Structures are given as structure tokens and as C-alpha cells.
């Protein structure tokens, strides 16, 4: 609970951030316009204006905006900016060192290929790109010279080598920490604490992803489905972000998932949002960035070869090319341990350097949104809330480092024989699971199951469930894994996750595992 002083400080910060927003000017305009209405009296002016804003829906929009601000990490003015980004010094240094390495790779590529980091497109190229904006997937540029700046396995090696210089590992009572790859002392939750935190996922609670496929009498199943649909419709109609987030903890109905996610993220598609997207599109058409080629390359290597996502190739180019230029993304660097890479050319700036698999953060969203500007806004919100944590070094509970440590601890504690067996044959479980976690399982699960997993990420405002699912997959395949004698055979056992059902795995692992 916040103290009185902390609460006052939080309220003041939220007011300050919202005061310059477009929503503030809209509410101010509506309040002025309502003064001309006959039922607004001078003697009860304040109450009448409030009543008007409530009945006209503006109060709810303000509540959602406040709720979104509350989901972002708090900002404490007395604390130095670098502490807000990451409180641990050795983590900040490790992230800075990693960034230098990535930038060096990007600059080396630019020098070797003779391709500038950014340049103005010739008029003919601008016209051509404008004409084929909606069919960029048909273009086949020569990308043979370009390579991904880094792959997830490169990033894993950096995480493995990370150590806290102030921590003496010899003081550890248990030797289990020496079994795993992650050697940093972070607090991660074990199953008893996870059960408490994820109580809505228990075996007796209804779940989208289980009950809708269960062998239940059709009449009972129909009644349950109609009830869930009715509740979700009410939540959407009320436009309540907090209620939508609570509801999604037990899964979203397929037909309303897009609306519920947009509501949770407070991702709107108002005229100003569409205009912002069009401005980004104009920036793409005017300027060519080196990272554009990396985006093309990544989409070609990943989504274009995926049975679920290849049809969305055009959408992926549109969203990612715009995203690479969006200065609004820079706001999240205030609470991200990373620093934005800069490549200025008449106002252009690179917001994120894509790595191998980056496009898979966008691909599943294409099943939900068919309007580019709406798709873009939802992805941007998903990224600045969650996905950035999967490729930056930090001590945050949802950071990739904590997820890796939690995955290893869950296996060591609850599947010790399996963990020991894999170590005996020279297999580190984290090396097999890391590629799943760094993509939040995108590209590995079937899309319907992936969306059920992401329902819970949004519902609990945490990526923790990703580590839980990774451990649950090992538990599910434990019998086969106990028989393997090499890395290749272990990889074969875990090669195909497309038939797995997410929610039964998570439920059984969390609530049916012996303590």
C-alpha cells in the first residue's frame, strides 16, 4: 500500500502527464461546450459539468487513461534517472556493454556494405514505395548481404556471463544455483507464491482454453459460454480497462479479444492516432534506414516461412517500418534499462534495432486487427509494456533474466531428476527453452493457444507466466526427456509445440504439482 505522501506524489505525476495530452484538451473542450446546455445551472456548475462528463463517457475515458498510467513503472523525482531505468549498477553496465556490441555490429555492417545508416530516398523510389505500400511482400530486394545484428542465442551468452560483483556465491547454502546457467541473485517466485498470485487459474475456476473444449454436456457448455460472452460484452460496452484486465485473467472470447486487449492497453484508434500513423508512414516513404533491410530480412526468415503468419507479410512490413521511426516509443526508455540507438537524418531516429525473430512480436496481433493503424497502436503498447523486457538486461520481475532464473529454479525444485539427467548428458534446459521465452512463445505454439497465453500476460500484467509455461512443457515431456542421451535427441523431443494446450499445462504444473 502507498503511504499518504507517496499517493499524493503519484497523483501529482499522473495529473502532470495527462495535462498535456490530447485527452485533456478533448475533455476541456467538451466541458466548455456543455456550458451552453439549458440543464447546466450556475449555482451547481461544478456538479452539472461532472454529471455531463460522466453520462457522455468522458469520465470513463479519463479513468482508463489514469489506469494506463498506473500500469507504468512509478517515477520518483528524488531518484536519479538511471535508477528509474535499472536500480542495480552492474545490470546497467552489462546493458550498456551489450548495446555497444550491437551498435558496433550495426556500424560494421554499414561500413562493410557501404550502406549509410539513413538517407533520403530518391523521388522515384518514394513514388514506387507509395504505390506498393499495401503489397510490399511482393517485393524481393536483394538481402543476401544483410545479416541479423544478433540472434537470441547471442543474447543468452551475455546473460549467462552476468555476475553480481558484490555477491559471493560460495555463501549459498544450496548448491543448486551452480547447476543452472543464470548466476545472479534475484528473487523469483516458487510454486506456493505463484499459486497465490495466479489464484484465478486454479483447477476449479472456469478458463477459456479449457472449458470451451471440455467434454461437458452441450447444454451446460452452451450456458457457460453464453454467460462468459455476456460478461465480456458488458465489460467492452462499459469501456472499463481495469475490468477488462481482470476478466482476461481467465481468457478472452475469440470474438471480443481484440476489443478487450485494446481496452486493457488503452490503445485507441482516434483520428489523431490514425494521423500519427500516417505521419510515420510518410517518414518511411521519405527516408531509408539500414534497419529497414534488417526488418525485411527478419520477416523473410521468420514470419514468411510460418504456416500461420505468412499471409500477414505486408502488415508486418507496414507496422515494423513505422515502429522503427516512432519517437513516441522513446518514452519507455525512461523505465527501460536500454538506451535508444540514434541515427538522425532530418528528424529520423531509430527507436529499436531489430534482432532475429523481432517480427514475431507483431505477427499474432495480425489475427486480431485488420486495420494497420489499430494494429500498430496495439503492438506499440504491447511492446512498451512487455516485449521490450524480453531483450534487455534488467532485474525486473518480468525481465528476461528473472524469467530464465525462474524457469531454472522451477525445474530444479520440482523436476530435479529431469534437470540432473539433462545436465549429466551435457544438456542445459535453459538453452532449449530460451528461444521460446525471448519470443513469448510466438512462432512455437499454435496461434489460438498463443493468444490464450497472451490473455494471461495482459490479465496479470506480467510475463512471469511465460517462464511457468516453459517449465510446464518440460514437465509434460519429462518421460520422453528422461530417455534421451544427447542434445540432438532432447531438441527433437521439444521441437514441435504446435499441438500443446497451454492452459491445461499451466494449471496442472501450478496446482497439481506435489509440494
Q: Cell triple for residue 190?
A: 516458487
Q: What pLDDT was estimated at residue 4?
A: 66
pLDDT at 172 over 60: no
118 beta partners: 289
Residue with cell 532449449: 432
Q: Cell triple for residue 209?
A: 482454453
Give the pLDDT band (50/70/90) at residue 178: low
Q: How far is CA 451 from the centre of its chain?
A: 12
345 beta partners: 348
pLDDT at 390 over 80: yes
Domain boundaries, the chain: 4-71, 86-160+268-385
Residue with cell 472470447: 253
Q: Which of 257-271, 290-304, 348-362, 494-508 has the least mean pLDDT?
A: 348-362
DSSP track, 270-327:
-HHHHHHHHHHHHHHHHEEEHHHHHHHHHHHHTGGG-TTTGGGHHHHHHHHHHHTT-G
Q: Cell triple for residue 412?
A: 530444479
Stretch 12-33: mean pLDDT: 75
Stretch 467-487: mean pLDDT: 97
HSE-CB at 276 with a 13 A cutoff on CA atoms is 19
Q: Which of 222-231, 271-280, 449-458 has the least mean pLDDT?
A: 222-231
Q: Over the stretch 280-334, which tens digit does the pLDDT of each residue have?
A: 999 999 999 999 999 999 999 999 888 889 899 999 999 999 999 998 888 878 7
C-alpha closest to that of 416 among 470, 469, 471, 467: 471
pLDDT at 464 over 80: yes
Q: What pLDDT was estimated at residue 367?
A: 95
Q: What pLDDT was estimated at residue 402?
A: 97
CB 106 within 8 A of CB 353: yes
Q: What pLDDT was estimated at residue 344?
A: 46
Give the pLDDT band (50/70/90) at residue 71: confident
Better-scored residue on pLDDT, 233 or 195: 195
Q: What pLDDT was estimated at residue 515?
A: 56
Three-class SS of 390-416: HHCCCCCCCCHHHHHHHHHHHHHHHCH
Stretch 11-23: mean pLDDT: 74
Better-scored residue on pLDDT, 282 or 345: 282
Question: What is the percentage of the chain residues whose pLDDT exceeds 90?
Answer: 58
CA–CA gap between residue 173 and residue 170 (Å, rounded): 8
Q: What pLDDT was estimated at residue 232?
A: 75
Q: What pLDDT was estimated at residue 169?
A: 60
CA–CA gap between residue 467 and residue 297 (Å, rounded): 28
- Angle at which helices 400-414 and 464-476 cross, to 10°: 30
C-alpha closest to that of 345 among 320, 376, 324, 315: 324
Residue with cell 528473487: 187
Buried b / exposed e over 438-477, threshold 16 CB at 10 Å, is bbbbbbbbbbebbbbbbbbbbbbebbbbbbbbbbbbbbbb
Amino acid at each position: 500500500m502507498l503511504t499518504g505522501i507517496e499517493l499524493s506524489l503519484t497523483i501529482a505525476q499522473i495529473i502532470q502527464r495527462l495535462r498535456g495530452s490530447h485527452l485533456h484538451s478533448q475533455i476541456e473542450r467538451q466541458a466548455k461546450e456543455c456550458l451552453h446546455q439549458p440543464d447546466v445551472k450556475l449555482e451547481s456548475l461544478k456538479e452539472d459539468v461532472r454529471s455531463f462528463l460522466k453520462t457522455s463517457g468522458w469520465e470513463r475515458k479519463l479513468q482508463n487513461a489514469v489506469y494506463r498510467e498506473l500500469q507504468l513503472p512509478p517515477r520518483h523525482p528524488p531518484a536519479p534517472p538511471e535508477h528509474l531505468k535499472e536500480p542495480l549498477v552492474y545490470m546497467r553496465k552489462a546493458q550498456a556493454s551489450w548495446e555497444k556490441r550491437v551498435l558496433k555490429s550495426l556500424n560494421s555492417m554499414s561500413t562493410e556494405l557501404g550502406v549509410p545508416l539513413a538517407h533520403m530516398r530518391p523521388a522515384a523510389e518514394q513514388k514506387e514505395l507509395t504505390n506498393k505500400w499495401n503489397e510490399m511482400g511482393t517485393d524481393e530486394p536483394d538481402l543476401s548481404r544483410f545479416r541479423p545484428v544478433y540472434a537470441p542465442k547471442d543474447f543468452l551468452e551475455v546473460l549467462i556471463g552476468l555476475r553480481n560483483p558484490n555477491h559471493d556465491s560460495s555463501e549459498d547454502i544450496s548448491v543448486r544455483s551452480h547447476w543452472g546457467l543464470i548466476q545472479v541473485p534475484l528473487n523469483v517466485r516458487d510454486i506456493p507464491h505463484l499459486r497465490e498470485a495466479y489464484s484465478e487459474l486454479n483447477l476449479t475456476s472456469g478458463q477459456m482454453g479449457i472449458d470451451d473444449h471440455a467434454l461437458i454436456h452441450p447444454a451446460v457448455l452452451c450456458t457457460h459460454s453464453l454467460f462468459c460472452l455476456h460478461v465480456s460484452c458488458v465489460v467492452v460496452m462499459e469501456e472499463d480497462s481495469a475490468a477488462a484486465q481482470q476478466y482476461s485473467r481467465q481468457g478472452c472470447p475469440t470474438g471480443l479479444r481484440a476489443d478487450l486487449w485494446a481496452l486493457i492497453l488503452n490503445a485507441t484508434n482516434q483520428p489523431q492516432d490514425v494521423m500519427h500513423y500516417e505521419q510515420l508512414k510518410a517518414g518511411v516513404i521519405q527516408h531509408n534506414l539500414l534497419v529497414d533491410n534488417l526488418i525485411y530480412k527478419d520477416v523473410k526468415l521468420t514470419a514468411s516461412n510460418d504456416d500461420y503468419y505468412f499471409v500477414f507479410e505486408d502488415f508486418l512490413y507496414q507496422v515494423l517500418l513505422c515502429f522503427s521511426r516512432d519517437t513516441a516509443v522513446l518514452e519507455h526508455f525512461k523505465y527501460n534499462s536500454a538506451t535508444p540507438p540514434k541515427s538522425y537524418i532530418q528528424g529520423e531516429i531509430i527507436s529499436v534495432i531489430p534482432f532475429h525473430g523481432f517480427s514475431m512480436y507483431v505477427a499474432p496481433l495480425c489475427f486480431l486487427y485488420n486495420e494497420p493503424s489499430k494494429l500498430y497502436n496495439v503492438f506499440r503498447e504491447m511492446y512498451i509494456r512487455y516485449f521490450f523486457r524480453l531483450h534487455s538486461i534488467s532485474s525486473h520481475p518480468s525481465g528476461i533474466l528473472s524469467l530464465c532464473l525462474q524457469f531454472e529454479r522451477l525445474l530444479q525444485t520440482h523436476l530435479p531428476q529431469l534437470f540432473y539427467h539433462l545436465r549429466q548428458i551435457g544438456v542445459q534446459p535453459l538453452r532449449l527453452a530460451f528461444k521460446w521465452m525471448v519470443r513469448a512463445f510466438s512462432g512455437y505454439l499454435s496461434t489460438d493457444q498463443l493468444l490464450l497465453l497472451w490473455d494471461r500476460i495482459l490479465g496479470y500484467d506480467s510475463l512471469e507466466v511465460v517462464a511457468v509455461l516453459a517449465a510446464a512443457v518440460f514437465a509434460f515431456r519429462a518421460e520422453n526427456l528422461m530417455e534421451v542421451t544427447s542434445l540432438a535427441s532432447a531438441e527433437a523431443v521439444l521441437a514441435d509445440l504446435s499441438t500443446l494446450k497451454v492452459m491445461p499445462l499451466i494449471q496442472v504444473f501450478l496446482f497439481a504439482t506435489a509440494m
